[in-house]
């Protein structure tokens, strides 16, 4: 059964509203949401993501060990009934630090991905749509951000933001990742704005900003969603390298990134220090991917998987 | 290689001059479906026979299988296509030959002219080299110098001026018409026996189309080749071919000589198709006959006649089995079909050259002498009230005065400097009154679309003024401009790109309402009303544009344009992307809406037949200027400007007798570049009249730009120093 037929069917079942006997026509976004939630992979992705969130925030409460507690009797021990996922080289319980790390990584990964892509989409679309001065200014900023080494900026900013929380850290990570996508978006916008439906909207009096958000950005959603899902994992990894320079997540605080960095050194000799945190990262990224793919297909009426 | 199951044909292959050069018998092409999708049966039993020097026209709408059948005959289909049947070239079976053997035949015995001459030529080789390759590949013993000589001679033959020099040019340096000439030269290179032309003129302007058709006639005379002409344009076929094969849903439904099919069509589909074409030569204003519905999907064909769901005279027996292509009167009676349902359905055997029809009621149609008008219900188009008020008393809704739009030509990467100007629109004036349609016609590049964009932008023009509903654009505040947008709406040419593919239809139609701040409740009501008005089912409003056919999409575009009850509707080639039978429905809809809502239309088109049907007044544009303007009747029956005469004369009329009797004015050359228009009269470089003038009279054309002057009573004016009325249709 095709998706459209299903949509019509569900509409007649649920769409009764008001005094008229006509069925209500669902709006654009409710159609997208409906199509998305009808895909099994989206449901699986959402379930896994919810499970991860639950594990990250509820899981630590179940552990007999505290977050900063160290078991001086067992260093680098494999998983056991006492330490469910083993311990690291300072005697910390891996179960609890991995889950606490997961908390940070979920927040950082998802927020950074969404912010990065949103900034890229907005900057690129505005530059491409308005061209002229707007384009010059925005692209000048983009080029500047591309050529300036991010570590240089960090070094300058470090004293000022040393003690601010993770929000600043998230914003900073996002600030380093949007430029290339913005350039792609700008190019696509320049070609999209010549489409007749954009002209039609303009000639019916829709404001340029509305046109950008209503017509231009939704028509690039495939690119943007792929970009956002990739950004989730790259943000989590990038966070590690920043932490290495004493910035962002710092000991005793942990994140999946710092744990992976730590574990990778002893992945062969003590695999449990590496396997669990990496596994969680992979599961997180895959869940996000499933949701992203579903969203992409829901937004694209011509996608193959919808027709099949 | 294409997988084939070949019927063992007659392998003798003797050379009999009377034998047909190309024989296609019971050709079937199936594209297997992927991912559980059903197979697409693109061609289902095509048979035809082509004698030496004969021209066969294959007509049908998009998706009827006309191109696929000829690609299959050439062995050019992708490997996954399943082809069966028999294709014999001079008695030799060629279906199922491997690629190398086919390559020996292609280009030598059978050659092809494609629709898009830009993608058919390799951009990185000069056209001369490409023709030389075509010559040498089949005659390796011919030396390069000889082959080059032949290439130049061929280019001369197809009318490329300066052939020896132009042979060294690359395809992008040629115009569309010139490229098509080069393609024809390549097709002629080895004196083939059969030339297959797949929509050879569809991408070209009418005056260029006339040149290319003329050239194809020459090519046929020169080589004595048989030609298969594949087209959707019933006019092109009428004057050019000997016999016609009408295809529908992958099957031939009627075949016969061109006169039989055009004057005595016996298949309701053909009758409908001929009634759906707007005619250039008929002055009376009768509504067109639309064929309701859409062509069936080739993946899930219902049993029975594929046309039955759209046929006005379908009987229950039509659904029993697919009728065969049989002589008129040879169809089984209704009682026989009832007795043995499903007995028919054969494709009808080989081509016998007779007038044959695949309709069980063809005998009845023949004896009753029915015409399209008898069987198709004529749509009723109400007479508008305002038409009774004389034009002068109706208010002007759109006025354009001396409008100019020049694009600067810039050069240089960092320091841009102006190296020239494209005179896209160079001083045009017209006005449109309430309840009136002005047709703006001209070839591509004449500035008609630029004019539209200038009007719609509501910005101040470089020179002149645009007055919409009494307000001059360029002097408006943002608020006023927004208000005018409500009364000035647009329908675009390509129904696919004019609708946001990511928006459901409801949102698309609701967008103008939402923008102009209507309440939710009102939007809901109005969208339903609009979809109903343009003949769409409101229950489909949650679907995306891609789920609709071209004609339906254009209706959605019209619904959106009408949402705010505008007073002026600008239509940019609204029917040129549609099939004939669908086009008629959209044209009727536009007429009906005008009568009911009193709209004024500015209708831009390159198809003069559509304009004659729809418009009250017409303006002909050439290189950014209006060369003739006046009411439709006067301009079409007595065109005074040589360009209008040539344009009208270039349009083929779908009536074989009239078409053969007409003398065409064939213009020479292409549209000059609007960046460098000729001095004086812009048309003089191609003007047939200019050539006939004496040197003294010519000087005036060379130096003085003609202004629009009245040619007869009324407001019919033409911009020619030597304007002279002359009937050409």
Query: Within an 8 Å CB–CB cutoff, is residue A33 touching chain B?
Result: no
Q: Is the pLDDT of residue B712 over 80?
A: no
| Residue A303, pLDDT score | 67
Query: Which has more confidence, B345 or B326?
Result: B326
Query: Within an 8 Å CB–CB cutoff, is residue A73 touching chain B?
Result: no
Q: Report residue B340's pLDDT band, with 50, 70 and 90 as the boundaries.
A: low
Q: What percentage of chain B carries pLDDT values higher than 90?
A: 17
Interchain proximity B485–A204, CB inside 8 Å = yes
User: Where are the alpha helices (H) located in B465-519, listed in sequence order?
Assistant: 478-487, 505-515
pLDDT in tens, B72-124: 888 888 888 889 888 998 888 888 888 888 888 888 889 988 887 778 888 89
Mean pLDDT for all residues in chain A? 81
User: Rounded to a whole number, what is the distance in Å from the CA of A299 to chain B's nearest CA?
Assistant: 7
Rounded (10°) CA dihedral B718, B719, B722, B728: -50
What is the residue-wise DSSP string for A146-211?
HHS-HHHHHHHHHHHHTTS-HHHHHHHHHHTTSHHHHHHHHHHHHHHTTSHHHHHHHHTT--HHHH
- DSSP single-letter state for residue B310: G
Sign of torsion over alpha carbons B628, B630, B631, B635 = negative
Q: Report residue A23's pLDDT band, with 50, 70 and 90 as the boundaries.
A: low
Mean pLDDT for all residues in chain B? 84
Residue of B444, B447, B466, B463 whose CA lies nearest to B455: B466
| Residue B476, pLDDT score | 85
Residue of A92, A44, A11 whose CA lies nearest to A254: A92
Query: Within an 8 Å CB–CB cutoff, is residue A204 touching chain B?
Result: yes
| Structure tokens given for A287 | 């869940």
| Chain B residues touching A201 at Cβ < 8 A | 511
Q: Report residue B556's pLDDT band, with 50, 70 and 90 as the boundaries.
A: very high
For the segment B339-357, the average pLDDT, to the nearest whole number, is 66
Q: Report residue B14's pLDDT band, with 50, 70 and 90 as the boundaries.
A: very low
Indicate the residue of A8, A201, A219 with minimum beta-carbon distance to B511. Answer: A201
Residue of B481, B454, B489, B470 whose CA lies nearest to B398: B470
For the segment A159-173, the average pLDDT, to the nearest whole number, is 77
Which run of H or E residues covers position B24?
strand B22-31
Question: What are the residues whose beta carbons fall under 8 Å from the beta carbon of A82, sequence distance 6 or more?
Answer: A71, A74
Indicate the residue of A7, A196, A201 with minimum beta-carbon distance to B542. Answer: A7
| Chain B residues touching A213 at Cβ < 8 A | none
Among all chains, which residue has been given the structure tokens 């919810």?
Answer: A50
pLDDT in tens, B428-445: 999 999 889 999 998 887
Number of Cα atoms under 13 Å in the Cβ half of residue B45: 17
User: Rounded to a whole number, what is the distance in Å from the CA of A29 to chain B's nearest CA?
Assistant: 9
Interface test with B, best of A7, A29, A200 (most B CBs within 10 A): A200
* 3-class DSSP assignment, residue B475: coil
Q: Is the pLDDT of residue A17 over 80?
A: no
Interchain proximity A25–B541, CB inside 8 Å = yes
pLDDT in tens, B354-405: 888 888 888 888 888 887 778 888 777 776 655 667 888 888 999 999 999 8
Top mean-pLDDT range of A16-20, A270-274, B626-630? B626-630
User: Phi, psi at residue B131, to the nearest 5°?
Assistant: -75, -40
Longest CA span, chain B: 84
| Residue A246, pLDDT score | 66
Question: What are the residues whose beta carbons fall under 8 Å from the beta carbon of B471, sequence distance 6 or more?
Answer: B480, B484
| Chain A residues touching B502 at Cβ < 8 A | 218-219, 221, 299-301
Query: Within an 8 Å CB–CB cutoff, is residue A196 touching chain B?
Result: yes
Query: Within an 8 Å CB–CB cutoff, is residue A7 touching chain B?
Result: yes
- Architecture label for domain A29-65+105-307: Orthogonal Bundle (1.10)
């Amino acid at each position: 059964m095709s998706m459209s037929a299903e949509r019509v069917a569900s509409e007649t079942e649920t769409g009764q509203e008001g005094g008229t006997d006509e069925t209500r026509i669902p709006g654009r976004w409710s159609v997208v949401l409906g199509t998305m939630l009808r895909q099994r992979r989206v449901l699986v992705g959402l379930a896994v993501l919810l499970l991860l969130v639950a594990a990250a925030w509820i899981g630590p409460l179940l552990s007999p060990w505290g977050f900063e507690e160290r078991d001086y009797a067992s260093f680098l021990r494999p998983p056991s009934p006492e330490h469910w996922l083993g311990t690291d080289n300072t005697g910390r319980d891996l179960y609890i630090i991995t889950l606490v790390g997961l908390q940070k990584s979920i927040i950082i990964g998802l927020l950074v991905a969404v912010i990065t892509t949103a900034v890229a989409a907005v900057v690129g679309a505005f530059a491409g749509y308005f061209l002229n001065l707007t384009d010059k200014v925005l692209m000048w900023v983009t080029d500047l951000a591309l050529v300036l080494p991010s570590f240089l900026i960090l070094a300058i900013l470090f004293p000022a933001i040393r003690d601010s929380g993770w929000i600043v850290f998230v914003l900073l990570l996002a600030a380093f990742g949007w430029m290339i996508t913005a350039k792609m978006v700008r190019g696509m916008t320049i070609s999209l704005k010549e489409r007749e439906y954009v002209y039609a909207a303009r000639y019916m009096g829709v404001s340029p900003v509305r046109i950008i958000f209503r017509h231009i950005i939704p028509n690039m959603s495939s690119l943007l969603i792929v970009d956002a899902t990739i950004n989730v994992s790259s943000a989590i990894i990038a966070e590690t390298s920043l932490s290495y320079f004493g910035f962002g997540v710092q000991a005793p605080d942990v994140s999946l990134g710092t744990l992976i960095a730590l574990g990778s050194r002893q992945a062969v000799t003590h695999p449990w220090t590496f396997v669990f945190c990496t596994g969680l990262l992979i599961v997180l990224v895959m869940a996000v991917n499933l949701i992203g793919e579903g969203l992409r297909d829901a937004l694209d009426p011509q996608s193959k998987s919808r027709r099949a | 290689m294409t997988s084939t199951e070949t019927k063992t044909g007659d392998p003798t292959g003797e050379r009999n001059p009377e034998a047909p050069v190309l024989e296609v018998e019971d050709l079937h092409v199936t594209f297997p479906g992927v991912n559980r999708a059903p197979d697409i049966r693109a061609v289902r039993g095509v048979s035809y026979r082509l004698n030496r020097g004969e021209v066969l026209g294959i007509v049908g709408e998009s998706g009827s299988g006309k191109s696929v059948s000829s690609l299959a005959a050439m062995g050019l289909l992708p490997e996954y296509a399943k082809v069966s049947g028999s294709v014999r070239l001079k008695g030799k079976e060629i279906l199922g030959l491997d690629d190398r053997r086919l390559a020996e035949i292609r280009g030598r015995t059978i050659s092809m002219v494609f629709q898009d001459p830009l993608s058919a030529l390799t951009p990185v080789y000069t056209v001369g080299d490409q023709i030389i390759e075509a010559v040498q590949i089949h005659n390796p013993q011919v030396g390069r110098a000889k082959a080059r000589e032949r290439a130049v001679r061929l280019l001369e033959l197809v009318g490329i001026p300066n052939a020896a020099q132009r042979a060294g040019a690359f395809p992008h340096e040629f115009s569309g018409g010139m490229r098509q000439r080069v393609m024809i030269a390549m097709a002629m290179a080895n004196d083939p026996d059969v030339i297959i032309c797949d929509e050879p003129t569809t991408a070209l302007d009418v005056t260029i189309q006339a040149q290319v058709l003329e050239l194809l006639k020459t090519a046929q005379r020169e080589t004595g080749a048989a030609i298969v002409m594949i087209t959707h344009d019933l006019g092109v076929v009428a004057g050019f071919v000997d016999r016609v094969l009408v295809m529908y849903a992958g099957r031939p439904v009627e075949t016969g000589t061109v006169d039989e099919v055009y004057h005595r069509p016996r298949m309701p589909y053909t009758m409908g198709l001929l009634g759906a074409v707007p005619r250039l030569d008929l002055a009376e204003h009768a509504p067109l006959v639309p064929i309701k519905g859409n062509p069936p999907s080739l993946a899930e064909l219902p049993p029975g006649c594929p046309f039955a769901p759209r046929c006005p005279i379908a009987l229950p027996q039509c659904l029993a089995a697919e009728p065969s292509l049989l002589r008129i009167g040879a169809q089984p009676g209704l009682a026989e079909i009832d007795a043995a349902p499903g007995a028919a359905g054969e494709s009808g055997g080989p081509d016998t050259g007779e007038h044959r029809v695949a309709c069980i009621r063809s005998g009845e149609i023949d004896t009753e002498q029915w015409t399209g008008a008898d069987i198709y219900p004529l749509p009723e188009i109400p007479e508008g009230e305002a038409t009774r008020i004389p034009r002068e008393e109706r208010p002007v809704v759109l006025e354009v005065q001396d409008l100019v739009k020049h694009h600067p030509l810039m050069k240089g990467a960092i320091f841009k400097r102006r190296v020239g100007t494209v005179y896209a629109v160079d001083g045009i004036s017209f006005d449109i009154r309430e309840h009136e349609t002005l047709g703006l016609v001209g070839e591509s590049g004449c500035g008609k679309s630029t004019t539209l964009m200038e009007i719609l932008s509501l910005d101040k023009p470089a020179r002149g003024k645009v007055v919409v509903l009494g307000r001059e654009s360029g002097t408006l505040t943002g608020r006023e401009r927004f208000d005018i947008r409500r009364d000035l709406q647009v329908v675009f040419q390509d129904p696919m790109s004019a609708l946001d593919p990511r928006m459901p239809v409801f949102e698309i139609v609701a967008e103008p309402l939402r923008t102009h701040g209507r309440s939710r409740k009102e939007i809901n009501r109005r969208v339903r009303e609009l979809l109903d008005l343009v003949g769409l089912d409101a229950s489909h409003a949650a679907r995306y544009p891609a789920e609709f056919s071209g004609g339906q999409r254009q209706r959605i575009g019209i619904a959106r344009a009408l949402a705010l009850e505008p007073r002026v509707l600008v239509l940019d080639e609204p029917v040129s992307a549609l099939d004939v039978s669908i086009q008629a429905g959209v044209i009727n809809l536009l007429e009906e809406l005008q009568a009911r809502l009193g709209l004024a239309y500015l209708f831009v088109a390159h198809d003069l037949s559509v304009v004659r049907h729809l418009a009250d007044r017409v303006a002909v544009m050439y290189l950014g200027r209006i060369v003739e303007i006046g009411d439709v009747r006067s301009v079409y029956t007595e065109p005074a400007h040589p360009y209008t005469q040539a344009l009208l004369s270039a349009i083929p009329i779908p009536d074989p007798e009239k078409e053969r009797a007409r003398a065409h004015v064939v213009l020479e050359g292409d549209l000059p570049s609007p960046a460098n228009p000729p001095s004086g009269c812009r048309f003089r470089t191609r003007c047939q009249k200019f050539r006939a003038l004496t040197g003294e009279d010519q000087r005036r054309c060379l130096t003085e730009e003609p202004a629009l002057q009245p040619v007869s009573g009324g407001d019919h004016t033409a911009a020619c120093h030597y304007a002279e009325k002359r009937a050409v249709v």
